[in-house]
């Protein structure tokens, strides 16, 4: 019985670590998105468009990782 409890506990700890990491990355990405959109609002140019495109790509990847965790 102890082995099962240990596995469940370790799984819960691992899931908590992953969720905390994803949450931290989400906060950072939202801050980047706000800054990128503000830059684009001020001036539409290639640099600002690329900045927003990179954030969009990062958000898409993050969303995919979150979806995988939800399937667990």
Structure tokens belonging to residue 34:
């706000």
Other Cβ atoms closer than 10 A to 36: 19
Cβ atoms of residues 19 and 68 within 8 Å:
no
pLDDT (tens place) for every residue of the chain, 72 residues total: 568 888 889 999 999 999 999 999 999 999 999 999 999 999 999 999 999 999 999 999 999 999 999 887
Cβ atoms of residues 48 and 33 within 8 Å:
no
- Cα–Cα–Cα angle for 49, 61, 41, nearest 5°? 25
The pLDDT score that the predictor gives to residue 71 is: 87
The pLDDT score that the predictor gives to residue 3 is: 85
Q: Of 12, 29, 13, give the one whose Cα is nearest residue 63.
A: 29
The pLDDT score that the predictor gives to residue 4 is: 83
């Amino acid at each position: 019985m102890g082995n099962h409890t240990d596995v469940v506990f370790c799984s819960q700890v691992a899931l908590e670590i992953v969720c905390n990491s994803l949450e931290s990355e989400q906060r950072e990405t939202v801050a980047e998105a706000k800054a990128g959109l503000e830059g684009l609002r001020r001036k539409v140019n290639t640099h600002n468009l690329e900045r927003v495109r990179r954030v969009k790509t990062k958000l898409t990847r993050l969303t995919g990782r979150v979806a995988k965790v939800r399937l667990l």
